[in-house]
């Protein structure tokens, strides 16, 4: 059974700092990995999807990497801003599918002005 | 306008009541999903549907049922609500031909069962 772990569970940084969020998964036979952002009282916003054949995916100040063989992904946020404060979730399809997502429990990020 | 909408956004009900949560999407996606989120447990898949005639159980389907009324509508029902079904419920959609089946989520329904 696929298990997804996110470390740290919570992170507090001063504005402007670069930071890395970690995601690990137990079954490396995945089609892709998706990073989401969740704001309080709101749904999940898809940030980046990395396909299994890719090593990195970038969107603005966000860069996600994927190392399937070691079962790891990182989300790098450059020059953090208070508006980046949210919970970040990673998810991978499980059970040999590309649609049954297994989620980590998330990292709660607080960026202090 | 939101691509995936859920109604109601908040609902408080009593044990034993029948509850329906509704999801609509304008993304034109074939696949729709229902998840629940609990503190400390993350999101878990309840049901998913590939089209109107294809509905499948997810990880935690007991106590729930679904209906795919049209390609754009997917409803989740709790036939007899119980307190441990108190959670945040999310609907999501995807299309297998788009970006490796990337999933897009609605804003969620916060359900409290007293």
pLDDT tens-place string over residues A3-58: 999 999 999 999 999 999 999 999 988 889 999 999 987 889 999 999 989 999 99
Which position has the higher pLDDT, A43 or B15? B15
pLDDT at residue A26, rounded to an integer = 94
Q: Do A91 and B105 touch (CB under 8 A)?
A: no
Residue A52: closest C-alpha in chain B? B100
Alpha-carbon gap, residue B40 to B44, rounded angstroms: 12
**Best B23, B33, B42, B47 residue to mutate vs chain A (most A CBs within 10 Å):** B42
**CA atoms of A67 and B63, how far apart (whole Å):** 38
pLDDT at position A24 is: 97
Separation between Cα atoms, residue A83 and residue A81, nearest integer Å: 5
Structural contact between residues A69 and A84, judged by C-beta atoms closer than 8 angstroms = no
The bridge status of strand B10-13 relative to strand B109-113 is: parallel
**Which of B24, B59, B98, B101 should one mutate to test binding to chain A, selecting the residue with the greatest count of A CBs within 10 A?**
B101
Please give the Cα distance from B91 to A35 (Å, whole number).
17
């Amino acid at each position: 059974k696929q298990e997804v772990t996110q470390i740290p569970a919570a992170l507090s940084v001063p504005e402007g700092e670069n930071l890395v969020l970690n995601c690990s998964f137990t079954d490396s036979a995945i089609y892709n990995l998706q990073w989401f952002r969740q704001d309080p009282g709101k749904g999940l916003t898809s940030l980046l999807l990395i396909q299994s054949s890719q090593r990195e995916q970038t969107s603005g100040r966000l860069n996600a990497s994927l190392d399937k063989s070691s079962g790891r992904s990182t989300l790098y946020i450059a020059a953090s801003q208070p508006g980046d404060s949210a919970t970040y979730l990673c998810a991978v399809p499980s059970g040999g599918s590309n649609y049954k997502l297994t989620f980590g429990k998330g990292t709660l990020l607080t960026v202090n002005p | 306008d939101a691509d995936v909408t859920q109604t109601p956004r908040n609902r408080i009900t009593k044990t034993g009541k029948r509850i329906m949560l509704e999801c609509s999407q304008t993304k034109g996606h074939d696949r729709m999903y229902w998840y629940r989120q609990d503190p400390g447990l993350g999101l878990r898949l309840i049901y998913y549907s590939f089209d109107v005639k294809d509905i499948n159980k997810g990880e935690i389907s007991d106590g729930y049922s679904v209906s795919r009324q049209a390609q754009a509508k997917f409803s989740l029902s709790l036939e007899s609500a119980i307190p441990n079904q108190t959670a945040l419920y999310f609907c999501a959609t995807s299309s297998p031909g788009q970006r490796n089946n990337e999933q897009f989520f609605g804003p969620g329904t916060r359900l409290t069962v007293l």
